[in-house]
Amino acid sequence: MTGTGLSPAHAAVNGLSIGVLMLDTHFRRLPGDVGNGRTWSFPVQFRVVRGADPAAIVHGSPEEFLQPFIAAALDLVACGVRGITTSCGFLALLQKELAAALPVPVATSSLLQAPLIEAMLPAGRQVGILTFAAEALTARHLSAVGARPDTPVMGLPPDSLFRQVYGNRGGVSDPARLEEEVVAAAQALVERHPDVGAILCECTNLPPHAAAIAAATGRPVFDIIGFIDWFARGIAPPRFGDA
């Protein structure tokens, strides 16, 4: 039985574990992005929350979209998913409310990993956050996930192609240029904060570049994809044969 009171056999779709609440965007999502179906090693379902575009969520008030997010999530649950995530790390602000409103576990944001990552690091090391927009990532977001308020944060420049494309403002996606910008921001993070022992990617468009970030900085890199792989494994643990 799932938390909905319905057995998986009676759901609209079977064999699902994760549902993804998508922002209302119109850009190319690379393999490795949360919104590219080829990213996932297990079946997922997507629902777009209309009107919830990047500007409204990152620079606006996500709370204004709480009810549409709840409705979309309930539709995914009725379809058969057993856990919910989202396509924007800034939705950490809705973690508590969505978890309270839904009958299945919710992992709104990669940022939820911050306390765990920091607990794993050697003495004198801390986690650093690489984000879409540093000016928009506030103490409220950090508090919502239990991260320290002085956690180092580095964002992509406002005039970057990354911000232009993934901010839904247009522009032609150029994976090589996007990766150059992301790597430069990650390098700036560790240069400014040498005690950063691991990098946490807030933005769900960053995972396609995680390997390049790790190679350039020499730090472990955590993102939404690894987080949801772990989340899904807990929801539907694999079966192993006899030893």
Q: What is the residue type of 57? A: I
Residues 133-179 have pLDDT tens digits of 999 999 999 999 999 999 999 999 999 999 999 998 887 889 999 99
Question: Residue 115 belongs to a domain with what CATH number?
Answer: 3.40.50.1860
Give the span between the Cα atoms of 140 and 130, in whole angstroms. 17
Q: 69, 2 in Cβ contact below 8 A? A: no
Shortest CA distance to 18 belongs to which of 226, 232, 224?
A: 232
Residues 231 and 161 both lie in one domain: no
Asked if residues 196 and 225 have their Cβ atoms less than 8 Å apart, the reply is no
pTM above 0.75, yes or no: yes
The 10s digit of each residue's pLDDT in 60-102 is: 999 999 999 999 999 999 999 999 999 999 999 999 999 999 9
Q: Is residue 243 part of a domain?
A: no
For residues 97 and 15, membership in a common domain is answered with yes
Residue 200: strand pairing partners: 129, 222
Both 164 and 204 in one domain: the answer is: yes
Look at the chain and report how many structural domains it folds into: 2
177 assigned to some structural domain: yes
Domain assignment of residue 119, given as a range: 110-223
Q: Classify 106 as helix, strand or coil.
A: strand
User: Both 156 and 60 in a single domain?
Assistant: no
